[in-house]
């Protein structure tokens, strides 16, 4: 969802500071023409365009679903209060969940209406304050514990609900609840089943590949690790996705045993038939370059396109077992 496509219809801010006994609930919507709307739109775009997003549906027993379903322009303020009261009850019972201001908004994108809940967790930082003294002003720097996240900062918990289908897009983080790390936002608050995000799926696949590769080739085989990374990069570059069923065959094409080991790991996550489709460049950025470090501290970064070109880079295994890296056909060398 791009912020320029969003048309705000209603919005309100509630204060859910769990250090206080009660939430501070607003009785008035925000000004839709204010800079605050642009700030909130930017946060909606940031998390909905991220590969951290999960797509899910409310369970039939969800307490939140009927509140959102029955939300109208006439009862928007009261509905937003109910949504935040239920969230505050969970926060107030679990001190590990950070306090926050919560923005509830209704907006449309291409004629479809959505309701968003953004939990703006407080951050601690320094700011200035001015005190009026008898003979003038005194400017001081103080530690403020209730500052909101910046416009570019990633939100830990947020969701957008499609009001026509009930589909939920969310991002979340685990916090300790009753002594156990849980995804409280989806499990306890929204009460919806949240599958793995595209980023989490990609992390699982790449970690499984690395573990199997290290087991059979060892962690010191840098050339093999580069080959594996190159295969994954080519799949993402050419197809925009990883077919879990076939990626094991491509990465471990010379070893049936390694292919089977990869399949077993994917079965544990119920991912054997998954298609991993990251949409954010940030998610796949780590595959776009080879980062090498020698035991003496020399660092080399090679763009993947150059790594694949033998006229640009060559790796030579010497007779004594050491490796030489030959960089060819340099037209200009810059120092930074």
- Burial of 288-326, coded b for 16+ CB within 10 Å and e otherwise, reads ebbebeeeeeeeeebebeebeeeebbeeeeeeeeeeeee
Q: What is the mean pLDDT of residues 21-49?
A: 91
Whether 161 shows a pLDDT value over 90: the answer reads yes
Strands (E), the chain: 6-16, 54-58, 100-109, 112-121, 123-133, 136-147, 157-162, 167-171, 175-177, 180-182, 192-193, 242-243, 275-276, 289-293, 299-303, 313-317, 323-327
> 13, exposed or middle or buried, with CB in 10 Å at 0-12, 13-18, 19+?
buried
Whether 114 shows a pLDDT value over 90: the answer reads yes
When mean pLDDT is compared over 10-14, 131-135, 313-317, the highest value belongs to: 10-14
pLDDT at 178 (0 to 100): 87
Mean pLDDT, the chain, integer: 90
What percentage of the chain has pLDDT greater than the value 90?
47
Q: What is the mean pLDDT of residues 38-53?
A: 92
What are the tens digits of pLDDT across the range 262-282?
A: 999 999 888 888 889 888 888
pLDDT at 163 (0 to 100): 93
pLDDT band, very low/low/confident/very high, at 108 (cuts 50, 70, 90): very high
CA distance 44 to 8: 12
What percentage of the chain has pLDDT greater than the value 70?
100
Q: What is the mean pLDDT of residues 284-288?
A: 84
pLDDT at 9 (0 to 100): 94
pLDDT at 104 (0 to 100): 96
Q: CA-CA-CA-CA torsion for 313, 317, 318, 323, nearest 10 degrees?
A: 70
Terminal C-alpha separation, the chain: 38
Whether 58 shows a pLDDT value over 80: the answer reads yes
pLDDT at 152 (0 to 100): 82
Whether 171 shows a pLDDT value over 90: the answer reads yes
Whether 129 shows a pLDDT value over 90: the answer reads no
Whether 144 shows a pLDDT value over 80: the answer reads no
pLDDT band, very low/low/confident/very high, at 260 (cuts 50, 70, 90): very high
Whether 254 shows a pLDDT value over 90: the answer reads no
The DSSP secondary structure of 122-152, one letter per residue, reads: -EEEEEEEEEEETTEEEEEEEEEEEEPPPTT
Give the number of other Cβ atoms within 10 Å of residue 268's Cβ. 10
What predicted TM-score, i.e. pTM, was given to this entire model?
A: 0.71
């Amino acid at each position: 969802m791009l912020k320029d496509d969003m048309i705000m219809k209603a919005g309100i801010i509630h204060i859910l500071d769990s250090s206080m006994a009660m939430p501070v609930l607003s009785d008035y919507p925000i000004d839709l023409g204010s800079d605050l709307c642009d700030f909130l739109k930017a946060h909606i775009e940031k998390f909905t365009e991220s590969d951290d997003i999960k797509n899910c549906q409310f369970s039939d027993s969800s307490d939140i679903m009927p509140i959102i379903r029955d939300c109208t322009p006439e009862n928007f303020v009261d509905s937003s209060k109910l949504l935040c009261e239920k969230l505050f009850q969970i926060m107030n019972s679990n001190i590990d969940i950070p306090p926050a201001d919560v923005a509830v908004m209704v907006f449309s994108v291409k004629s479809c209406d959505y309701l968003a809940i953004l939990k703006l967790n407080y951050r601690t930082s320094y700011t200035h304050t001015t005190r009026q003294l008898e003979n003038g002003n005194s400017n001081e720097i103080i530690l403020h514990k209730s500052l909101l996240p910046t416009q570019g900062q990633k939100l830990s918990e947020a969701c957008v609900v499609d009001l026509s289908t009930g589909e939920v897009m969310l991002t979340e983080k685990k916090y300790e609840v009753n002594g156990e790390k849980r995804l409280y936002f989806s499990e306890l608050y929204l009460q919806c089943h949240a599958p793995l995000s595209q980023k989490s799926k990609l992390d699982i696949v790449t970690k499984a590949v690395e573990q199997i590769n290290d087991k059979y080739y060892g962690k010191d085989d840098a050339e093999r690790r580069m080959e594996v990374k190159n295969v994954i990069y080519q799949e993402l570059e050419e197809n925009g996705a990883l077919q879990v069923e076939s990626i094991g065959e491509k990465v471990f094409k010379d070893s049936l045993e390694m292919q089977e080991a990869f399949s077993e790991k994917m079965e544990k996550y119920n991912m054997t038939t998954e298609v991993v489709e990251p949409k954010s460049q940030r998610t796949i950025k780590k595959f776009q370059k080879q980062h090498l470090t020698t035991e003496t501290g020399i660092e080399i970064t090679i763009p993947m396109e150059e790594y694949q070109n033998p006229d640009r880079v060559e790796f030579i295994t010497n007779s004594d077992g050491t490796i030489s890296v030959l960089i060819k056909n340099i037209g200009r060398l810059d120092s930074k």
